[in-house]
Amino acid sequence: LYSYGVKAIEYHKPRVFIAENVGGLRSSAEGKTFDLILNKLSKAGNGYRLTVHKFQFENYGVPQKRERIYFVCFRKDLGLSEFSFPESTDEDVAIEDLLLSVDVPGLDDLVIRRPDTFVSAELPVARELRPLRVGTVGKGGQGERIYSVKGHAVTLSAFGGGVGAKTGMYLVDGEPRRLHPEECRRVMTFPEGFKLHPKRNVCYKQFGNSVAVKVVRLIFEQAERAFREKARLAA
């Protein structure tokens, strides 16, 4: 993937580009993978100055536990010596804000009704910017945990197993269910009116592999500020 990206950068030589990877990239292969990517990106085209930051999405108005590393890369000949990533916003948002109306077709298909379901007698009342586990289905392994709508979603995944695979399970109106693709769209902060694929599993795969629009927008806005500030100082 990065080889194709580097080829595109070398051909187009954009003033700035942004790259994303998983939060655990720094520790992959004892840091060798991270160093290799840094080296390739910095040397692409006429050379780029890189700034790297690990984002915890739940601190930026994205109701999901998701950790990703972002690279913001300015062409060296622009002379932009400093770039600051956006500060966290810590917005009060929870899964309950994003749920569809109960009369939406297809929601009942997402409800998990199994005899081996356990839900805690004490459920959260206060909202928190993190997933709040309240129960399990089966042995409670990956994809078998139930969370409160007072908190955030677990990481949406393109793959994964368990009865709550790809979206996690949430206690909605007293029953655990997976998220609808439209709810996943909202979790990933895609705009209203975004056209969903007609197949549910394709939607899950797309959103599990996607970026959170809100975070990328914040980064782009910060990059625009850096360009404006450079132009102001040069005037």
128: which 2 tokens? 């928190």
Query: Which three-class secondary structure state does DSSP give residue 10?
Result: helix
Distance CA 129, CA 94 (A): 7
pLDDT at 2: 61
Q: Compute the Cα dihedral for 108, 112, 113, 118 and give only its sign.
A: negative
Backbone angles phi, psi at 191, to 5 degrees: -70, 155
pLDDT at 199: 96
pLDDT at 43: 84
Contact 158, 205 (CB under 8 A): yes
pLDDT at 5: 80
219: CB partners within 8 A, 6+ apart = 18, 70, 72, 85, 86
| Single-letter amino acid, residue 97 | D
Task: Tell me the pLDDT tens digit for each residue of 37-83.
Answer: 888 888 887 789 999 999 999 999 999 999 999 999 999 998 887 88
Distance CA 20, CA 69 (A): 6
- Kindly state the DSSP code that residue 99 receives in the 8-state scheme: P
Distance CA 187, CA 209 (A): 13
Q: How many residues does the chain have?
A: 235
Select from 220, 211, 206, 208 the least CA-distant residue to 72. 220
Contact 139, 165 (CB under 8 A): no
Q: Compute the Cα dihedral for 227, 6, 11, 79 and give only its sign.
A: positive
pLDDT at 146: 98
pLDDT at 191: 95
Look at residue 187 and tell me whether its pLDDT is greater than 60.
Answer: yes
Look at residue 1 and tell me whether its pLDDT is greater than 60.
Answer: no
Task: Tell me the pLDDT tens digit for each residue of 122-153.
Answer: 999 999 999 999 999 999 998 999 999 999 99
Task: Tell me the pLDDT tens digit for each residue of 190-232.
Answer: 999 999 999 999 999 999 999 999 999 999 999 999 988 888 7
Quickly list H helices, 112-175: none
pLDDT at 75: 92
Task: Tell me the pLDDT tens digit for each residue of 89-110.
Answer: 999 999 999 999 999 999 999 9
Look at residue 3 and tell me whether its pLDDT is greater than 80.
Answer: no
